[in-house]
Structure 1
Amino acid sequence: MLVKTYSSAVQGIEAYSITIEVNITTGTKYFIVGLPDNAVKESLRRIETAIINIEHRMPRQKIVVNLAPADIRKEGSSYDLGIAVGILAASAQIPCAKTADYLILGELSLDGSILPVRGVLPITMQAKTDGFKGIILPTQNAREAAIVSDMEVYGVDHIKQVVQFFTEEQALTPTIVDLEAEFQQHFDKYDIDFADVKGQENIKRALEIAAAGGHNVILIGPPGAGKTMLAKRLPTILPPLTLEESLETTKIHSVSGYLSAAESLMHRRPFRSPHHTISDVALVGGGTHPQPGEISLAHNGVLFLDELPEFKRTVLEVMRQPLESRHIHISRAKFSVEYPASFMLIASMNPCPCGFHNHPEISCVCGPTLVQRYLSKISGPLLDRIDLHVEVTPVAFTELSSSRTSERSEAIRTRVIQARLMQETRFQQSQHVHCNAHMSSKSLREVCQIEETGKTLLLNAMQRLNLSARAYDRILKVARTIADLDGSERIKNEHLAEAIQFRSLDRENWSG
């Protein structure tokens, strides 16, 4: 008897419905075909034991399981439950009338328990597109799937519940999540705040500009000056995730397996801070079976690279293309996948190996050559892609001991949101541009008009700092953001002057 059930495969962050065809005929062996990996091939042993342990019969006949389409590689253990239901239906132990209405996925334990799987959100979204009535999956994944509206989502803990559902012995309770309430309840909760930071008003100003325009930042300063503390607070002043951004970010974390059972939706912008020993593949994504890298996990959020010169040069250079295109394309011999990678890069570094170059009180023990060699670990093309170069100086004791309350993140975020609204209005005709940092060269010429005196100011800066064409564009984009924060329709000379000062590493003889 031939029976069809349905499951799903994930490539990149997109899902594809998979038809599980189970045919039982005369014979003695089990076969599974359709480009399965080892985890899928081993599933028949898990399924056989689970079926026996729930006191059902595993057919002692020839069983052929085909996973179609056969040209898509099937990986992982999420097909276990769908195959098990197919075998039980094909051997007439459960009715097959309703099996085609539901997409079924879950890993089986030997005792019949059902374990969680990855990629549930894109799978459920695709199941809705393909017209399935509902989805049956592990309880731990149910809340994640339930954020997709107009789908019956049934979370189960044991294969017995699935059998009883199809035999109509016991109904399953659908999981329901109020998406709007879920989103609004958690999106604005942070344990840290800019009010915790004493002094450093110029650095806070730079980060406010970065947040308002989506610009990349590098913080240069001695140890203990507060670079990491400031960087960690950047997400608290970014605009809240929109529902669309939240779903897109959740899909990436779902595929990567980083979404907890209690979390159905990403409520806050991600903040990723990989260690400097990270490999190229771990940063940008890929591997034998491609997975999203740190730049994709930071999509719609912040990627923080602490002690930038300590990262391998090859690791830093592979970021150059994603910083411009905001996606990463992973190609393999038989397939390719694309991951989104629209993130804000914030990096920090010491100005020299000892960390005290240009320190107001402590003498640096590094010579000019050593300082230059340290800075040269970061290539010019990468620095060109970083809009704001900010020098961080130590906070004086009087500032640290002051009882004066600093401005809260909420107040800064209000100004940032207002500036972003101006940009949304400005770029409403551009589908993929939402902030100043993303604008194209064509848009740049249209919206970044400057006065003649401003052109002279910029010309002098270009000549003195020997800036590239890309750095010229970056200055104009930052100046446009400063003007937006000021509520100005045009870029004034003071906006341009402030933007130019954020090119510290371009300054002549900066390294001594």
Structure 2
Amino acid sequence: MIARSYTVAFEGIEVRTVEVQCALSPGVPSFSIVGLPSKAVTEARERVRAALTSLSIALPPKRITVNLSPADMPKEGSYFDLPIALALLAAIGVIPNDQVEGLVALGELSLDGGLVQVAGALPAALAAAEAGRALMCPKASGPEAAWVGDAAVYAPSTLSEAIAHLSGSRPLAVAKPGEITAGPAPLDLSDVLGQERAKRALEISAAGRHHLLLVGTPGSGKSMLAARLPGILPALSPSEALETSMVHSRAGMIDAGGISRQRPYRSPHHTASMAAIVGGGKGALPGEISLAHNGVLFLDELPEFPGSVLETLRQPIETGDVTVARANAHVKYPCKFLLIAAANPCKCGYLPDPARACARVPVCGEDYLGRISGPLMDRFDLRVEVPPVSFTDLGRDVPTGEPSEVVAARVAAARMRQTARYANTDLRVNADLSGDWLDAVAKPEKEGQEFLQQAAEKLGLSARGYHRVLRVARTIADLADAGDVSRKHVAEAVAFRLVGQPI
């Protein structure tokens, strides 16, 4: 008899069902796993054997063969331990096979029979729901998987509890979803003295998900401004929270099963590798751009990033997803992020200050910011120069400006207008506009159209730059609660495109 259990294999956040087949046959006693298992999957033999021994369950003196089907798909990860153990227990008659076949199982076994938390419980629960099966996973992963709601989730803490549940002696209660985690309190914009133009750019960026570049001398407040962006962004919608949590679950970043409604904020160091930024490495895990999905990706010291890493951002910025290509698989992750970048104007950082600039001015600035290619620069909707704040102003009672709460209310209102406008479409924010939708909702009035054409000719805007100005103008109009895009909205959008024109 062949006993079967079911688990999943991950291709990004997408999952494929894997059938675990276990057969006992006469011959020299052995325990083999076939079906393109990785080293971690092959080692499941010893973990399963030790876990069963701890429960005083002896393996029969037969040839045990476990096949992971489809056999031509690579299997990686330690979460195959539990489905292999369940298929084996069904094959030797410890638990009913029909009960095992009604489950999708995943979990790592410790040598004493305990079940260890694994990554990917959330997408596995979605796959179980689509297949009409329940999910069995370690207790620590249960609250995370229970967020799906359409599949019953059973979360034993040990293999003995799983056996008792499947044999009917001690049924487990269905796991409950974890708590919504609050996360750290966002920083407030009122902490930033001056920089009103940069704050305005931050507001526009948040309202329409427009990419923003901040250029200024060291200590002018670029990183400080970027760190306060999460405080003015609206909370994740339920669908966005699920999308983001799917990526984080695949990366093993969901603690205690809690799901956050705060938008992710990722700030990788400029020494990060291409695999760390884009995704890849062992198991083709998501990179920083995917971990920032529906949130913010902040790249400080942008010119210091390797040129090859920066150039890989161009395609994900346009498409909103990234494909990690490997010899035996192509793994796709979503990555609709808001890119905020900061850069010094030159290597020494003091290009605008004749008293402190180096002797290579202005060539040093051209060389330094020249590390950012023109096509990548063209993808920044907003470019802002952040002037230094005088130390004399720091000691005076200077007005701090609006708090984040006030700005966040305007951003939320603008986002609500966009949500209503793009209802029943794949669009979410103005940054997604293209084609007919761009003409329908962002085309300026006559005066605004004439102004934009003149600006495009004078500045030599590319087609991409022209359309990005229209999207920003539409967002500025939404912040002003204006139905049509007027000349003043276009003028402000062009002005933000003008800043830093030499770069």
TM-score w.r.t. length of structure 1:
0.93
Q: Distance in 2 between matches of 1:58 and 1:111?
A: 16
> Structure 2 matches for 1:34-45, cutoff 5 A?
34-45=35-46
Q: Distance in 2 between matches of 1:400 and 1:115?
A: 54
Secondary structure of 2:137's counterpart equals strand
Secondary structure of 2:155's counterpart equals strand
Change (3 A) 1:54 1:348: same
Q: Which of 257, 279, 294 matches 1:300?
A: 294
Counterpart of 1:408, as a letter, is: P
Residue matched to 1:8: 8
**What is the deviation of 1:361?**
7.2
1:186 partnered with 2:175: no
Secondary structure of 1:481's counterpart equals helix
**What is the deviation of 1:219?**
0.3
Offset from partner CA, 1:288-328 (integer Å, 9 cap, x none)? 53221111111101111000000011111111011111111
Change (3 A) 1:269 1:361: farther
Offset from partner CA, 1:387-420 (integer Å, 9 cap, x none)? 0001111223335642645422222111111112
RMSD: 2.1
Offset from partner CA, 1:358-407 (integer Å, 9 cap, x none)? 24975454411121111110011111100000111122333564264542
2:177–2:257 Cα contact (<8 Å) kept: no
Residue matched to 2:221: 226
Residue matched to 2:341: 347
Change (3 A) 1:405 1:375: closer
Residue matched to 1:337: 331
**What is the deviation of 1:39?**
1.1
Residue matched to 1:272: 266
Q: Which of 362, 381, 390 matches 1:387?
A: 381
1:61 partnered with 2:56: no
Secondary structure of 2:428's counterpart equals coil
Counterpart of 1:104, as a letter, is: A
Residue matched to 1:20: 20
> Structure 2 matches for 1:301-380, cutoff 5 A?
301-359=295-353, 362-363=356-357, 365-380=359-374
2:119–2:252 Cα contact (<8 Å) kept: yes
Q: Which of 414, 435, 439 matches 1:445?
A: 439
Residue matched to 2:460: 466
Query: Percent of aligned pairs with the same residue?
Result: 43
1:358–1:364 Cα contact (<8 Å) kept: no
Change (3 A) 1:395 1:361: farther
Q: Distance in 2 between matches of 1:481 and 1:167?
A: 59
**What is the deviation of 1:90?**
1.3
Number of equivalent positions = 501
Counterpart of 1:174, as a letter, is: V
Change (3 A) 1:70 1:225: same
Change (3 A) 1:33 1:370: same
1:417 partnered with 2:418: no
**What is the deviation of 1:331?**
2.8
Residue matched to 1:153: 153
> Structure 2 matches for 1:468-483, cutoff 5 A?
468-483=462-477
Residue matched to 1:113: 114
1:82 partnered with 2:87: no
1:353–1:366 Cα contact (<8 Å) kept: no
Secondary structure of 1:60's counterpart equals coil
1:199–1:400 Cα contact (<8 Å) kept: no
TM-score w.r.t. length of structure 2:
0.94
Structure 2: segments with no counterpart, 5+ residues? none
Change (3 A) 1:456 1:403: closer
Q: Distance in 2 between matches of 1:371 and 1:129?
A: 55
Secondary structure of 2:272's counterpart equals coil
**What is the deviation of 1:336?**
1.6
Secondary structure of 2:259's counterpart equals coil
**What is the deviation of 1:112?**
1.3
2:351–2:361 Cα contact (<8 Å) kept: no
Change (3 A) 1:159 1:288: closer
Q: Which of 234, 237, 243 matches 1:242?
A: 237
Secondary structure of 1:342's counterpart equals coil
Secondary structure of 1:473's counterpart equals helix
Residue matched to 1:503: 497
Q: Distance in 1 between matches of 2:186 and 2:274?
A: 31
**What is the deviation of 1:435?**
1.2
Counterpart of 2:198, as a letter, is: I
Counterpart of 1:412, as a letter, is: V
1:215–1:387 Cα contact (<8 Å) kept: yes
> Structure 2 matches for 1:248-287, cutoff 5 A?
248-260=243-255, 262-287=256-281
Change (3 A) 1:65 1:268: same
Counterpart of 1:338, as a letter, is: K
**What is the deviation of 1:453?**
3.4
2:141–2:257 Cα contact (<8 Å) kept: no
**What is the deviation of 1:463?**
3.7
1:147–1:264 Cα contact (<8 Å) kept: no
Q: Distance in 1 between matches of 2:411 and 2:296?
A: 16
Q: Which of 483, 486, 496 matches 1:489?
A: 483
Offset from partner CA, 1:140-167 (integer Å, 9 cap, x none)? 1111011111432222222121122233
Q: Which of 202, 210, 213 matches 1:207?
A: 202
1:198–1:400 Cα contact (<8 Å) kept: no
Change (3 A) 1:172 1:450: closer
Q: Which of 402, 411, 427 matches 1:433?
A: 427
**What is the deviation of 1:97?**
4.1
**What is the deviation of 1:172?**
1.9
Secondary structure of 1:303's counterpart equals strand
Residue matched to 1:169: 169
Change (3 A) 1:369 1:61: same
Offset from partner CA, 1:80-136 (integer Å, 9 cap, x none)? 11111221221123333422222221111111121111111010011011011x222
2:140–2:257 Cα contact (<8 Å) kept: no
Secondary structure of 2:122's counterpart equals helix
Secondary structure of 1:59's counterpart equals coil
Deviates more, 1:36-45 or 1:159-168: 159-168
**What is the deviation of 1:504?**
4.0
